[in-house]
């Protein structure tokens, strides 16, 4: 899939995601991993274009990665906080 994608619950409907390949040619690409479903809880932001992750839980200091956002665009701290506050992606972004 291309563009901004949000996975609201990594354990629901996507066969319990365990690994991830995040590939983008953009240095401003952003991957955000949350500890709770619905883009809530603690989060960690990754910048840059290539991440191969054998275990999603490694991304968030051993906590369980429960939702994530992948985008080719830069997301600011303020945007991520707003997503975490509302539990909703910006209009026009896709959620699966």
| pLDDT tens-digit map of 3-41 | 688 989 887 755 555 556 666 777 888 889 999 999 999
What is the distance between the terminal CA atoms of the chain, rounded to a whole angstrom? 11
CATH code 2.60.20 for 5-95: yes
Listed by start position, the domains of the chain span 5-95
89 vs 93: CA distance, rounded Å: 6
How do residues 68-93 score in pLDDT, each as one tens digit? 998 888 899 999 999 999 999 988 88
pTM across the whole model: 0.82
Burial 4-19 (b: 16+ CB within 10 A, else e): bebbbbbeeeeeeeee
């Amino acid at each position: 899939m291309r563009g901004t994608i949000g996975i609201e619950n990594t354990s629901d409907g996507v066969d319990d995601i365990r690994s991830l390949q995040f590939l983008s040619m953009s240095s401003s690409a952003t991957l955000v991993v949350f500890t709770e479903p619905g883009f809530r809880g603690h989060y960690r932001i990754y910048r840059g274009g290539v991440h191969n992750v054998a275990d999603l839980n490694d991304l968030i200091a051993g906590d369980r990665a429960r939702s994530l956002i992948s985008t080719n665009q830069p997301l600011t701290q303020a945007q991520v906080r707003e997503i975490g506050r509302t539990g909703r992606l910006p209009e026009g972004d896709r959620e699966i």
